[in-house]
Structure 1
Amino acid sequence: MIFVTVGTQGQFDRLIRTIDEWAGVRGRTDVFAQTGPAEYRARHIRVERFIDPSEFRRCVESASLVVAHAGMGSIITALELGKQIIVMPRRAELGEHRNDHQVASARRFAQQGRIVVALDEKELVERLDRVGSAEPAERLGGQASSHLIDTIRTFIDVEHTPVENRT
Protein backbone atom coordinates (compact mmCIF):
# COMPACT_ATOMS: atom_id res chain seq x y z
CA MET A 1 0.00 0.00 0.00
CA ILE A 2 1.04 3.59 -0.65
CA PHE A 3 0.03 5.83 2.24
CA VAL A 4 -0.39 9.54 1.51
CA THR A 5 -0.71 12.13 4.27
CA VAL A 6 -1.09 15.90 4.29
CA GLY A 7 -1.28 16.32 8.05
CA THR A 8 -4.03 18.18 9.84
CA GLN A 9 -3.09 21.84 9.37
CA GLY A 10 -5.00 22.48 6.16
CA GLN A 11 -5.70 21.28 2.69
CA PHE A 12 -3.01 20.30 0.25
CA ASP A 13 -5.08 19.61 -2.84
CA ARG A 14 -2.07 19.89 -5.18
CA LEU A 15 -0.54 16.78 -3.61
CA ILE A 16 -3.81 14.81 -3.43
CA ARG A 17 -4.77 15.69 -7.03
CA THR A 18 -1.35 14.62 -8.35
CA ILE A 19 -1.46 11.29 -6.50
CA ASP A 20 -5.06 10.63 -7.55
CA GLU A 21 -4.34 11.34 -11.22
CA TRP A 22 -1.13 9.26 -11.10
CA ALA A 23 -3.01 6.32 -9.54
CA GLY A 24 -5.76 6.56 -12.18
CA VAL A 25 -3.33 6.59 -15.12
CA ARG A 26 -1.19 3.79 -13.65
CA GLY A 27 -4.15 1.66 -12.56
CA ARG A 28 -3.01 1.71 -8.92
CA THR A 29 -5.68 0.55 -6.48
CA ASP A 30 -3.39 0.36 -3.45
CA VAL A 31 -3.32 4.04 -2.48
CA PHE A 32 -4.88 5.38 0.72
CA ALA A 33 -4.73 9.09 1.57
CA GLN A 34 -5.37 11.14 4.66
CA THR A 35 -6.49 14.35 2.94
CA GLY A 36 -7.28 16.84 5.69
CA PRO A 37 -9.95 19.41 4.81
CA ALA A 38 -9.49 18.94 1.05
CA GLU A 39 -11.71 20.56 -1.53
CA TYR A 40 -10.49 18.19 -4.25
CA ARG A 41 -12.53 14.99 -4.48
CA ALA A 42 -10.41 11.97 -5.38
CA ARG A 43 -11.71 9.50 -7.96
CA HIS A 44 -9.02 6.81 -8.00
CA ILE A 45 -7.73 6.49 -4.43
CA ARG A 46 -9.30 5.70 -1.07
CA VAL A 47 -9.43 8.73 1.21
CA GLU A 48 -10.20 9.74 4.76
CA ARG A 49 -10.10 13.37 5.84
CA PHE A 50 -8.66 12.70 9.28
CA ILE A 51 -7.36 9.64 11.11
CA ASP A 52 -6.34 9.33 14.74
CA PRO A 53 -2.65 9.02 15.71
CA SER A 54 -2.77 5.25 16.29
CA GLU A 55 -4.39 4.69 12.88
CA PHE A 56 -1.80 7.00 11.30
CA ARG A 57 1.01 4.88 12.76
CA ARG A 58 -0.69 1.65 11.57
CA CYS A 59 -0.95 3.08 8.06
CA VAL A 60 2.74 4.01 8.01
CA GLU A 61 3.70 0.58 9.39
CA SER A 62 1.78 -1.26 6.69
CA ALA A 63 2.81 1.02 3.80
CA SER A 64 5.47 0.10 1.28
CA LEU A 65 5.81 3.83 0.55
CA VAL A 66 4.76 7.02 2.33
CA VAL A 67 4.06 10.20 0.37
CA ALA A 68 3.65 13.30 2.51
CA HIS A 69 3.86 17.02 2.95
CA ALA A 70 7.10 18.04 4.67
CA GLY A 71 5.68 17.87 8.19
CA MET A 72 8.07 16.68 10.86
CA GLY A 73 5.59 14.16 12.30
CA SER A 74 5.15 12.47 8.94
CA ILE A 75 8.85 12.44 8.10
CA ILE A 76 10.06 11.26 11.49
CA THR A 77 7.42 8.51 11.77
CA ALA A 78 8.31 7.15 8.33
CA LEU A 79 12.04 7.24 9.12
CA GLU A 80 11.53 5.69 12.54
CA LEU A 81 9.65 2.79 10.95
CA GLY A 82 12.14 2.40 8.10
CA LYS A 83 9.71 3.43 5.37
CA GLN A 84 10.73 5.05 2.15
CA ILE A 85 9.16 8.51 1.98
CA ILE A 86 8.62 10.95 -0.85
CA VAL A 87 8.01 14.46 0.41
CA MET A 88 6.37 17.30 -1.50
CA PRO A 89 6.57 20.44 0.64
CA ARG A 90 3.78 22.96 0.86
CA ARG A 91 4.77 26.26 -0.76
CA ALA A 92 3.96 29.71 0.54
CA GLU A 93 3.87 31.26 -2.94
CA LEU A 94 0.96 28.93 -3.79
CA GLY A 95 -0.93 29.83 -0.60
CA GLU A 96 -0.34 26.40 0.94
CA HIS A 97 1.49 27.72 4.01
CA ARG A 98 2.57 30.93 5.76
CA ASN A 99 6.23 30.53 4.79
CA ASP A 100 8.56 28.06 3.11
CA HIS A 101 9.86 26.24 6.18
CA GLN A 102 8.64 22.95 4.66
CA VAL A 103 10.81 23.52 1.59
CA ALA A 104 13.82 24.20 3.84
CA SER A 105 13.11 21.13 5.99
CA ALA A 106 12.69 18.87 2.95
CA ARG A 107 15.95 20.07 1.42
CA ARG A 108 17.84 19.51 4.67
CA PHE A 109 16.57 15.92 5.06
CA ALA A 110 17.29 15.28 1.37
CA GLN A 111 20.90 16.46 1.82
CA GLN A 112 21.26 13.77 4.47
CA GLY A 113 20.01 11.19 1.97
CA ARG A 114 17.09 10.17 4.18
CA ILE A 115 14.14 11.22 2.04
CA VAL A 116 13.19 11.78 -1.59
CA VAL A 117 11.92 15.27 -2.35
CA ALA A 118 9.59 16.39 -5.13
CA LEU A 119 9.23 20.17 -5.32
CA ASP A 120 6.41 20.09 -7.85
CA GLU A 121 3.83 17.80 -9.42
CA LYS A 122 6.05 16.73 -12.33
CA GLU A 123 8.83 15.68 -9.96
CA LEU A 124 6.34 13.82 -7.78
CA VAL A 125 5.11 11.73 -10.72
CA GLU A 126 8.72 11.00 -11.75
CA ARG A 127 9.59 9.91 -8.19
CA LEU A 128 6.47 7.74 -7.92
CA ASP A 129 7.28 6.01 -11.21
CA ARG A 130 10.75 5.09 -9.88
CA VAL A 131 9.47 3.73 -6.57
CA GLY A 132 9.79 0.07 -7.53
CA SER A 133 13.56 0.38 -7.93
CA ALA A 134 14.13 2.13 -4.62
CA GLU A 135 16.05 0.67 -1.70
CA PRO A 136 14.27 0.18 1.62
CA ALA A 137 14.89 3.06 4.01
CA GLU A 138 17.20 2.78 6.98
CA ARG A 139 15.34 2.95 10.28
CA LEU A 140 15.88 6.06 12.33
CA GLY A 141 16.98 4.98 15.78
CA GLY A 142 14.66 5.53 18.72
CA GLN A 143 17.49 7.20 20.61
CA ALA A 144 19.85 10.02 19.84
CA SER A 145 23.29 9.19 18.47
CA SER A 146 26.22 9.21 20.86
CA HIS A 147 27.68 12.16 18.92
CA LEU A 148 24.52 14.21 19.48
CA ILE A 149 24.42 13.29 23.17
CA ASP A 150 28.09 14.25 23.60
CA THR A 151 27.52 17.55 21.82
CA ILE A 152 24.57 18.42 24.05
CA ARG A 153 26.45 17.31 27.15
CA THR A 154 29.41 19.56 26.22
CA PHE A 155 27.07 22.48 25.57
CA ILE A 156 25.38 22.02 28.95
CA ASP A 157 28.72 21.67 30.74
CA VAL A 158 30.04 24.86 29.14
CA GLU A 159 26.86 26.82 29.79
CA HIS A 160 26.81 25.83 33.46
CA THR A 161 30.50 26.48 34.09
CA PRO A 162 31.23 29.98 35.44
CA VAL A 163 32.92 32.13 32.79
CA GLU A 164 36.08 32.54 34.88
CA ASN A 165 36.48 28.72 35.04
CA ARG A 166 36.03 28.03 31.30
CA THR A 167 39.10 26.93 29.37
Structure 2
Amino acid sequence: MIFATVGTQLPFDRLLLAVDTWASMHRDVPVVAQTGRTATTYSHLTCLPQMDQRRYADCVAQARVIVAHAGMGSILTAIEAGKPVILMPRRADLGEHRNDHQRDTAAEMAVLSNVTVVEDSATLCTAISAALTRANDPALAARSNVASARLLDAVRDFIWSEDTRSARSGFGLRPVLRA
Protein backbone atom coordinates (compact mmCIF):
# COMPACT_ATOMS: atom_id res chain seq x y z
CA MET A 1 0.00 0.00 0.00
CA ILE A 2 1.00 3.58 -0.65
CA PHE A 3 0.02 6.11 2.00
CA ALA A 4 -0.24 9.76 0.99
CA THR A 5 -0.70 12.52 3.54
CA VAL A 6 -1.06 16.26 3.09
CA GLY A 7 -1.51 17.31 6.70
CA THR A 8 -4.62 18.87 8.14
CA GLN A 9 -4.14 22.61 7.70
CA LEU A 10 -4.41 23.20 3.95
CA PRO A 11 -5.57 21.29 0.88
CA PHE A 12 -2.82 20.07 -1.44
CA ASP A 13 -4.47 19.02 -4.68
CA ARG A 14 -1.24 19.11 -6.74
CA LEU A 15 0.21 16.26 -4.67
CA LEU A 16 -3.03 14.29 -4.55
CA LEU A 17 -3.63 14.64 -8.30
CA ALA A 18 -0.12 13.32 -8.94
CA VAL A 19 -0.66 10.33 -6.64
CA ASP A 20 -4.04 9.69 -8.28
CA THR A 21 -2.33 9.71 -11.68
CA TRP A 22 0.19 7.10 -10.48
CA ALA A 23 -2.59 5.01 -8.94
CA SER A 24 -4.54 5.03 -12.22
CA MET A 25 -1.57 3.30 -13.87
CA HIS A 26 -0.95 0.85 -10.98
CA ARG A 27 -4.39 -0.35 -10.00
CA ASP A 28 -2.94 -3.42 -8.30
CA VAL A 29 -1.41 -1.25 -5.54
CA PRO A 30 -3.88 0.24 -3.07
CA VAL A 31 -3.40 3.91 -2.25
CA VAL A 32 -4.86 5.50 0.87
CA ALA A 33 -4.76 9.28 1.15
CA GLN A 34 -5.31 11.58 4.09
CA THR A 35 -6.60 14.50 2.02
CA GLY A 36 -7.55 17.24 4.44
CA ARG A 37 -10.37 19.45 3.24
CA THR A 38 -10.62 19.44 -0.53
CA ALA A 39 -13.45 19.75 -3.02
CA THR A 40 -11.58 17.62 -5.55
CA THR A 41 -12.48 13.97 -6.02
CA TYR A 42 -9.87 11.31 -6.77
CA SER A 43 -10.93 8.22 -8.69
CA HIS A 44 -8.06 5.93 -7.75
CA LEU A 45 -7.45 6.77 -4.09
CA THR A 46 -9.18 5.73 -0.90
CA CYS A 47 -9.66 9.23 0.50
CA LEU A 48 -10.02 10.14 4.15
CA PRO A 49 -10.15 13.87 4.90
CA GLN A 50 -9.07 13.33 8.50
CA MET A 51 -7.86 10.40 10.56
CA ASP A 52 -7.56 9.78 14.23
CA GLN A 53 -4.11 8.84 15.54
CA ARG A 54 -4.81 5.13 15.51
CA ARG A 55 -6.00 5.05 11.89
CA TYR A 56 -3.08 7.23 10.81
CA ALA A 57 -0.60 4.95 12.61
CA ASP A 58 -2.20 1.88 11.00
CA CYS A 59 -1.83 3.42 7.53
CA VAL A 60 1.80 4.29 8.20
CA ALA A 61 2.50 0.76 9.48
CA GLN A 62 0.89 -0.85 6.42
CA ALA A 63 2.49 1.47 3.87
CA ARG A 64 5.41 0.35 1.76
CA VAL A 65 6.02 3.98 0.77
CA ILE A 66 4.79 7.26 2.23
CA VAL A 67 4.15 10.28 0.02
CA ALA A 68 3.81 13.55 1.91
CA HIS A 69 3.99 17.29 1.92
CA ALA A 70 7.16 18.49 3.64
CA GLY A 71 5.57 18.97 7.04
CA MET A 72 7.76 17.97 9.97
CA GLY A 73 5.09 15.76 11.55
CA SER A 74 4.72 13.72 8.38
CA ILE A 75 8.49 13.45 7.94
CA LEU A 76 9.11 12.37 11.54
CA THR A 77 6.32 9.80 11.40
CA ALA A 78 7.73 8.22 8.24
CA ILE A 79 11.25 8.18 9.69
CA GLU A 80 10.19 6.65 12.99
CA ALA A 81 8.35 3.92 11.08
CA GLY A 82 11.43 3.25 8.92
CA LYS A 83 9.52 3.93 5.71
CA PRO A 84 10.82 5.43 2.50
CA VAL A 85 9.31 8.88 2.13
CA ILE A 86 8.71 10.96 -0.96
CA LEU A 87 8.26 14.65 -0.25
CA MET A 88 6.50 17.12 -2.49
CA PRO A 89 6.81 20.47 -0.72
CA ARG A 90 4.04 23.03 -0.95
CA ARG A 91 5.04 26.09 -2.96
CA ALA A 92 4.23 29.68 -2.13
CA ASP A 93 4.35 30.74 -5.80
CA LEU A 94 1.51 28.29 -6.51
CA GLY A 95 -0.56 29.55 -3.58
CA GLU A 96 -0.11 26.31 -1.62
CA HIS A 97 1.40 27.99 1.43
CA ARG A 98 2.31 31.43 2.74
CA ASN A 99 6.07 30.94 2.26
CA ASP A 100 8.56 28.34 1.04
CA HIS A 101 9.58 26.84 4.38
CA GLN A 102 8.52 23.39 3.13
CA ARG A 103 10.90 23.69 0.19
CA ASP A 104 13.68 24.62 2.62
CA THR A 105 12.85 21.64 4.84
CA ALA A 106 12.72 19.28 1.86
CA ALA A 107 16.09 20.54 0.60
CA GLU A 108 17.64 19.69 3.97
CA MET A 109 16.04 16.24 4.04
CA ALA A 110 16.99 15.42 0.42
CA VAL A 111 20.56 14.52 1.40
CA LEU A 112 19.30 11.46 3.27
CA SER A 113 19.09 8.12 1.49
CA ASN A 114 15.47 7.19 2.22
CA VAL A 115 14.06 10.60 1.33
CA THR A 116 13.21 11.62 -2.20
CA VAL A 117 12.10 15.16 -2.99
CA VAL A 118 9.98 15.88 -6.06
CA GLU A 119 8.47 19.04 -7.50
CA ASP A 120 6.05 17.76 -10.15
CA SER A 121 3.64 14.98 -11.04
CA ALA A 122 5.86 13.12 -13.50
CA THR A 123 8.77 13.01 -11.07
CA LEU A 124 6.47 11.88 -8.27
CA CYS A 125 5.14 9.00 -10.37
CA THR A 126 8.68 7.86 -11.20
CA ALA A 127 9.74 8.20 -7.55
CA ILE A 128 6.86 6.07 -6.26
CA SER A 129 7.70 3.26 -8.67
CA ALA A 130 11.40 3.44 -7.77
CA ALA A 131 10.65 3.45 -4.03
CA LEU A 132 8.46 0.36 -4.39
CA THR A 133 11.24 -1.42 -6.29
CA ARG A 134 13.71 -0.59 -3.50
CA ALA A 135 11.20 -1.66 -0.83
CA ASN A 136 10.90 -5.07 -2.51
CA ASP A 137 14.69 -5.64 -2.53
CA PRO A 138 15.83 -6.95 0.90
CA ALA A 139 19.38 -5.58 0.54
CA LEU A 140 18.14 -2.11 -0.35
CA ALA A 141 15.50 -2.22 2.38
CA ALA A 142 18.17 -3.05 5.00
CA ARG A 143 20.21 -0.04 3.92
CA SER A 144 17.08 2.11 4.16
CA ASN A 145 16.59 1.08 7.81
CA VAL A 146 20.12 2.25 8.64
CA ALA A 147 19.40 5.48 6.78
CA SER A 148 16.18 5.88 8.77
CA ALA A 149 18.09 5.97 12.06
CA ARG A 150 20.46 8.59 10.60
CA LEU A 151 17.52 10.54 9.22
CA LEU A 152 15.71 10.52 12.54
CA ASP A 153 18.82 11.84 14.30
CA ALA A 154 19.20 14.56 11.66
CA VAL A 155 15.57 15.65 11.96
CA ARG A 156 15.81 15.74 15.76
CA ASP A 157 18.94 17.89 15.46
CA PHE A 158 17.09 20.12 13.00
CA ILE A 159 14.10 20.59 15.26
CA TRP A 160 15.97 20.97 18.53
CA SER A 161 18.96 22.99 17.34
CA GLU A 162 19.64 26.30 19.09
CA ASP A 163 18.98 28.14 15.81
CA THR A 164 15.53 26.58 15.53
CA ARG A 165 14.53 27.37 19.12
CA SER A 166 15.56 30.99 18.79
CA ALA A 167 14.34 31.61 15.24
CA ARG A 168 11.14 33.54 14.71
CA SER A 169 9.06 32.96 11.58
CA GLY A 170 9.63 35.57 8.89
CA PHE A 171 12.99 36.87 10.11
CA GLY A 172 15.04 35.02 7.51
CA LEU A 173 16.70 32.72 10.04
CA ARG A 174 17.08 29.17 8.81
CA PRO A 175 18.32 26.28 10.97
CA VAL A 176 21.15 24.19 9.60
CA LEU A 177 21.08 20.41 9.68
CA ARG A 178 24.09 18.58 10.96
CA ALA A 179 23.79 15.27 9.08
Query: How does the TM-score come out when normalised to structure 1?
Result: 0.80
- Matched residues in 1 for 2:114 and 2:131: separation? 15
Q: Counterpart of 1:26?
A: 26
Shift of 1:144: 5.8
Per-residue CA distance 1:41-100 (angstroms, 9 max, x = gap): 011111100001222122111111100000101111110110011110000000000101
Q: Counterpart of 1:66?
A: 66
Per-residue CA distance 1:124-152 (angstroms, 9 max, x = gap): 111122123223332438x969xx7xxx8
1:103 partner amino acid: R
Query: How does the TM-score come out when normalised to structure 2?
Result: 0.75
- In structure 2, do the counterparts of structure 1 residues 140 and 58 end up closer, same or farther at CA, with 3 Å as the change threshold? farther
Q: Give secondary structure in 2 for the equivalent of 1:130.
A: helix
Q: Counterpart of 1:3?
A: 3
Q: Counterpart of 1:158?
A: none
2:128 partner amino acid: L
Q: Counterpart of 1:38?
A: 38
2:103 partner amino acid: V
Task: Could you tell me which runs of 5 or more consecutive residues in structure 1 were left unpaired when the two chains were aligned.
Answer: 153-167
1:24 partner amino acid: S
- In structure 2, do the counterparts of structure 1 residues 98 and 28 end up closer, same or farther at CA, with 3 Å as the change threshold? farther
Q: Counterpart of 1:156?
A: none
Q: Counterpart of 1:164?
A: none
**Length, aligned pairs only:** 146
Contact 2:6 2:12 in 1 (8 A): yes
Q: Counterpart of 1:86?
A: 86
1:133 partner amino acid: T
Moved more, 97-106 or 114-123: 114-123
Moved more, 22-31 or 62-71: 22-31
- In structure 2, do the counterparts of structure 1 residues 53 and 122 end up closer, same or farther at CA, with 3 Å as the change threshold? same
Q: Counterpart of 2:106?
A: 106
**Which structure would you say has the larger Rg?**
1
2:67 partner amino acid: V
Contact 1:29 1:45 in 2 (8 A): no
